[in-house]
Amino acid sequence: MTVYIYARFSPRRNEEDCESIEVQVDRCVRYAEQLDLEVGRLVTDRAVSGGVPIADREGGSKIVDNIRRGDHVIAQRVD
């Protein structure tokens, strides 16, 4: 089983309200630790809109191309 952590950052006008990739990753790692899961892969996308399908994002497509039954993906938000 592989546990993926996925984080995405899209700069916008209200950038001070956006969570950085580092903050998202830290929160996801702590969540995985609470569930006693070992993170196998960290995948990120920068400057990509949440409106872009995950399979069309550079990082997201790595998950889509490699995920297998039983693997898990942890993300701070589903968009």
pLDDT, tens digit, 9 for 90 and up, residues 20-60: 888 889 999 999 999 999 999 999 998 787 788 888 899 99
Would you say residue 15 has pLDDT above 60? no
- According to DSSP, residue 57 is labeled S
Q: How many helices (H) and strands (E) does the chain have?
A: 2, 3
pTM: 0.80
Look at 22 and 3; give whichever has higher pLDDT.
3
Q: Given strand 39-46, what is the order of strands in its sheet?
A: 39-46, 3-9, 72-75
pLDDT, residue 11, reads 66
pLDDT, residue 1, reads 80
Torsion of CA 34, 75, 63, 1, to 10 degrees: 10
Look at 57 and 1; give whichever has higher pLDDT.
57
